[in-house]
Amino acid sequence: METRRYAWFSSAVIFAAGWTTTETPSIGQTLATGSGIPLSTAVSSSTSSSRDRDPAELDRAKLMTASQGLSGVPALPGSIGDGAADAELPKVFAPTRPRKRYTRYPWKRDIVATVFWVGEKPTRNNPTPNNKSAWDRAWESSFGGFDDPDRDQRDGFRPRDFEPGQNPFYIALPYNDLKSGGGTKTSARHVIPWYDREFERAGKTIIKGRWIAIRRGSDVCYAQWEDVGPFETDDWQYVFGEARPKTRGNGGAGLDVSPAVRDYLGFSSGHAVCDWRFVDEDEVPDGPWKKWGANNPFVQSGETGNPSADPEGIVKVREMASRYLGNLPTGAAGGDGDGEAATIEE
């Protein structure tokens, strides 16, 4: 009975995944490789504990383990997998070369977000002027001017008086990977998930321009990391870990967002409670955040993206499968559950 229920659920997950990939091939490629566990490894792990079963039950068990590979079990907040992923890659949902590891960054939930803007003057609650950023001493000039937050002075998601030279969808988080006197912080090597892949030399940031997703209610906006704050500059325990923001300023704010992000998510004032997480570049769907800016990789490449992309679809399917598998008897999912919490790879 348990095997039949699991096979039914697995079929439902595979059907849901197949429906998603019909519209968005890139998600299908991610789903196809799941957690990075080779399909052959998952099948052998399951069948090794079932050698005395009836052949019909064994076939159903194989179906079960195949769906595990697609749903990405075990689900961890980083990336998991091993070098054996090259041995055999599932082809059903992967018409092109699939990713060998599934990258997933966890949501930071219920974070107070405050609004800031390029060219903002110092105030009591924000003593640092925003005509320069942590990484650009001429930020206002690079942006093209004052990013006026007055809604009457805006044309959609951009300033009314000029076309921005940089992406108007920008944010600040309270960590800087560079030392104030130059060079790269020692902590960067240990806490930034993509450090090993992207580090080039000391003193060159590898977090500026990084994409994040910000969620408020049912709306999700995408923006690039372009400054450091609010208030803190070394809160890696929050930015890359599981801690809450260190600061108590502005209600414990852990995220600054631009007027464009504010307007897209419908803030009614200068702050709101949101969720956010890092995303890889190929998870960013089409939207106004791809339209402007010399610092925007989509503008540089001329790509417009896929307007039907749903990067959250894969996450929802995986979470649904993980919740179900968590209720199964120990050993029913096959394998030992160990994963490699290594650097994030594509």
CATH of residue 192? 2.40.40.10
Determine, yes or no, domain membership for 177.
yes
Residue range(s) defining the domain that contains residue 120: 108-278
State the total domains in the chain: 2
Smallest CA-to-CA distance from 139 within 114, 165, 158, 174 is with 165
How far is CA 216 from each of CA 110, 220, 224, 251, 272, rounded to the nearest angstrom? 9, 6, 17, 18, 8
Q: Are 42 and 91 members of one domain?
A: yes
Q: Are 248 and 261 members of one domain?
A: yes
How far is CA 321 from each of CA 2, 27, 57, 99, rounded to the nearest angstrom? 15, 16, 21, 20
Answer for the pair 217, 174: CB distance below 8 angstroms, yes or no. no
Q: Which two tokens stand for residue 246?
A: 């260190």
Q: Are 135 and 267 members of one domain?
A: yes
Answer for the pair 86, 100: CB distance below 8 angstroms, yes or no. yes
Q: Which residue has the tokens 């004032």?
A: 269
Q: Are 116 and 244 members of one domain?
A: yes
The reply to whether omega before 164 is within 30° of 0 (cis) is no
pLDDT in tens, 56-94: 554 544 444 333 333 333 444 444 344 444 444 443 333
pLDDT beneath 70: ranges in the chain: 1-103, 304-346
Residue type for position 9: F
The pTM for the full model equals 0.62
Determine, yes or no, domain membership for 137.
yes
Q: Are 48 and 133 members of one domain?
A: no
Q: Are 247 and 274 members of one domain?
A: yes
The whole-number pLDDT of residue 9 equals 47
The whole-number pLDDT of residue 127 equals 80
Answer for the pair 289, 263: CB distance below 8 angstroms, yes or no. no
Determine, yes or no, domain membership for 285.
no
Q: Are 121 and 268 members of one domain?
A: yes
